[in-house]
Amino acid sequence: MKALTKATVAALALLVLAVTGLLALVLVDHDAEATEVSGGGGGGLRGVPEEFRAWILKAAEECGEPELTPALLAAQLYQESKFKTSREEATSYAGAEGPAQFMPGTWATWGRDADGNGRASPWDIGDAVMAQGRMMCSLIRQARSSGYPGDVRALALAGYNAGWGRVEQFGGVPPRSFANGQTYHYVRTILSTMKRFEGPGLLQVEGSGSGADALRKAAGRLGTPYAYGGGGPEGPSLGFCEPGAGYRNGTCVADDTVGFDCSSLVQYAYWPDLKLPRTAAAQYGATSDRAVSRRNLEPGDLLFWSHGGSGAIYHVALYAGDGNVLHAPRTGKTVEVVALADAMPGADYYGATRP
């Protein structure tokens, strides 16, 4: 499997802000170009791309081992590839391939044509995730019967990363001194980030049409960190900092956080069927001729906020039905569903449009 070359995973935390005295801080840091001025996750899984969800759930169910949860598989996939599927982004220096990072020899053992398209490929999401599940399921059973001390999930993850022979060599998870700590940190990182992917999520999306489809796609990213300037049509990416944006407690965190900001999440949700522009202000400009009153909101409609209702748009969200919105709120938080009244200051609500 791909060796862990960087064990930096942005820690998820809730940033509690008092409105009084900090309103100016709340009103910045929403959009990569608006400066100065917390999938349908059901089934025990959230924060994963829609195209991975069904396969992750299926892989966990087919294994039947309680330790192999959807959240564990999702955290492992995130660590291996961040759910990337392109050959440029998901091929390791050692030759591991695809979102689950299989070496050719290992793939020959575990790979199957799970998606029924006539080929077994580590680049096909269904094939890769089901192979990952089969291999991890086998490793968990091997870990349980081995008698080695420690969490069987940790032992299985170590076997996936370094090979079961290394687990046998060390009588457990290889120590920090092995391979510059790559396997050691691989195991610890995955186990510590599982909660990010645990569900069920807060939103079940029903219906069809472009709005429902966009909302459903965005719901697959519940729990994804907010990253100022991060994200786009292909999914979350590293953000960046600039004055008044991307910082938490005086420290720049956006440039080490893979995630979305408010407008990139909306852009991602509607892409490629509708190619909305990148910023909240531009998205309002592109859709303002299709205004929707608050009483006629439908799932997937875009909601906008401006400073004191002045028209200087600084935030956008997707209407999620039942008086709720789905959005990427600000640095320190994650993609979440909240009541419309609580999303941003009420006096700043500017209006809604239908893309």
**Tens-digit pLDDT profile for residues 107-154:** 999 999 999 999 999 999 999 999 999 999 999 999 999 999 999 999
**Given this model, what pLDDT does residue 309 score?**
74
**Contact at 8 Å (CB) between 59 and 236?**
no
pLDDT number for residue 36? 28
pLDDT score of 11:
33
End-to-end Cα distance, the chain: 43
Strand partners, 352: 292, 303
Banded pLDDT at 264 (limits 50, 70, 90): very high
Q: Cα-flanking dihedrals φ and ψ of residue 57, to 5°?
A: -60, -40
Structure tokens, 174: 């290889």
Strand intervals (E) in the chain: 237-238, 247-248, 251-252, 258-259, 291-292, 302-306, 313-321, 324-327, 336-339, 349-353
Structure tokens at 234: 């292909």
Closest CA to 313 of 268, 262, 350: 350
Average pLDDT, integer, range 310-339: 92
pLDDT of residue 256 exceeding 50 = yes
Band (201; pLDDT cuts 50, 70, 90): low
**pLDDT band (50, 70, 90) for residue 29:** very low
Residues with Cβ within 8 Å of 340's Cβ and at least 6 positions away in sequence, in order, are: 303, 319, 323, 324, 325, 349
Residues 6+ apart with CB under 8 A from 24: none
pLDDT at 196: 87
Mean pLDDT of 242-255: 94
**Strand ranges (E), 216-300:** 237-238, 247-248, 251-252, 258-259, 291-292
Tell me the pLDDT tens digit for each residue of 267-278: 999 999 999 999
pLDDT confidence of residue 222: 86
Distance CA 330, CA 121 (A): 38
- Average pLDDT of the chain is 86
Local confidence band at 8 (pLDDT 50, 70, 90 cut-offs) = very low
67-117 tens-digit pLDDT: 999 999 999 999 999 999 999 999 999 999 999 999 999 999 999 999 999
Would you say residue 281 has pLDDT above 60? yes
What is residue 77's predicted lDDT score, i.e. its pLDDT? 97
Residue 288 has pLDDT above 80, yes or no: yes
- Asked whether the whole model's pTM tops 0.75, one would answer no
